[in-house]
Amino acid sequence: MLERYAFDNICRVAFDHDPGQLPDGDDGFADAFRDAANLSAGRFQYAVPGFWMIKKALNLGSERRLRESIAMVHGFADRIIRSRREEMSMGCEKHDLLSRFMLLSSRPDVERRIRDEVAAVRARRAVGDLGRPGFDLDELREMHYVHAAITESMRLYPPVPVNFLRAEAADVLPDGTAVGAGWFVAYNSYAMGRMEPVWGEDARAYRPERWLDPAEGTFQPDSPFRYIAFHAGPRICLGKEMAYIQMKSIVACVLEEFELAVDGAYRPRQVTSLTLRMADGLPVRVKAR
C-alpha cells in the first residue's frame, strides 16, 4: 500500500497524472514501470555476466519483456510531454505537491514518542486551530524526533539500497583506488547502514536517539557521505527536503489517528530491485485510536 501511495504521488509531481494505484487501481503505466525497474535490476544477477546482452540481441524472455515495458513507459512519457507542451502553448500550467511514504520500523516506544511529540506540537496551536487536520511546514520542522525516527529507518532500510555509477574517464578515488574509464563503481547503502566501523557497535540497532542532540533533543544531521541514503556530492538527491516534509507529515497524521501493530516474528522477503521492496508487503494490524 505504501509503495502504491508513493507511486501515485511521485507521478502527480513528475507528470501531473494520478495512476490511481490507491486504493487498488490498475494502471498499465505503473505495471510497466515496475517491470522495467525489476527487469533492469535483474541484469546484474546472471550467473554469466553480460548474458542479458545475448538475450537482448535475440529479443528473448526477460529482455523482450523489458523492451516492451520500456516502450510503454516512453510512450506514456511522450504523451505527457506532448500534452504539457500543448497546455503551455495555450498559456495554462498546473502545479502540484509530492508525497512519499516510507516504512517506519514498528516499535511501541518509538511510536509512543512520536505521538507525544506530535501531540505537543498540536497543543501549541491557538485554541480555535486545535482541530485543524494535518500540520504546516513550521510545525513539521518542530518534529525533531519524527525526523530522527525516519532517518534511522532509512539508515537500516535505504530506499535506494545499491547505486551504480559509470566512470566517464579514468579517475582515482580519495582513498587512492584507481578507476578505469568505463568502469562501474557501486556502493551498497544497505550494507553501509549496518557497518560497525561506520556506525559503531550498535550499528544494527534501530535507535532514533543517535540522531538527536542529547541536551537539546534537536536533530543532528550527519555527513551525506556516511549517511548515504540520498546519495552525496554534486548529484545528491534534489528531492530530499521535500521527501522529508511528506514522510513526516504522513507519519504524524497516520500515528495521530491509528495504532499500528506489526508481527515481530514476520520476516519480510526483500526484493533486489532499483529500490528496496518487500515481495509480499508487510502485514500491519491497524486500529483507529
User: Binding site: which residues?
Assistant: 237
CB contact at 8 A, 226 and 150: no
The contacts of residue 92 (CB under 8 Å, 6+ apart) are none
CA distances from 261 to 40, 276, 282, 283, 285 (A): 34, 22, 11, 9, 5
Half-sphere exposure of 129 (CA within 13 A, CB side): 10
Grid coordinates representing 220 are 543532528
Judged by phi (left if over 0) then psi (alpha if -120 to 50, else beta), residue 173 lies in beta
CA distances from 243 to 100, 193, 206 (A): 6, 19, 21
Closest approach of ligand HEM to the CB of residue 149, in Å: 14
Q: Which is nearer to ligand HEM, 125 or 198 (by Cβ)?
A: 198
Residue positions forming the annotated binding site for heme: 237
Q: Which is nearer to ligand HEM, 66 or 103 (by Cβ)?
A: 103
Closest approach of ligand HEM to the CB of residue 13, in Å: 6
Q: Which is nearer to ligand HEM, 207 or 231 (by Cβ)?
A: 231
Eight-state DSSP code of residue 45:
G
Which has the closest alpha carbon to 193: 235, 236, 166, 154?
154
Closest approach of ligand HEM to the CB of residue 250, in Å: 11
Closest approach of ligand HEM to the CB of residue 232, in Å: 9
Q: Which is nearer to ligand HEM, 62 or 163 (by Cβ)?
A: 163
Q: Which residues bind ligand HEM (CB under 6 A)?
A: 13, 98, 100, 102, 159-160, 163, 229-231, 235, 237-239, 242-243
Closest approach of ligand HEM to the CB of residue 30, in Å: 17
Task: Report the residue closest to ligand HEM, judged by CB.
Answer: 239
Q: Which is nearer to ligand HEM, 1 or 238 (by Cβ)?
A: 238
Closest approach of ligand HEM to the CB of residue 159, in Å: 4
Cα–Cα distance for residue pair 147/204, rounded to 1 Å: 19
Cross-strand partners of 212: 219
Q: Which is nearer to ligand HEM, 229 or 250 (by Cβ)?
A: 229
Chain Cα centroid distance, residue 195 = 21
Helix/strand/coil percentages in the chain, nearest 5: 50, 10, 40
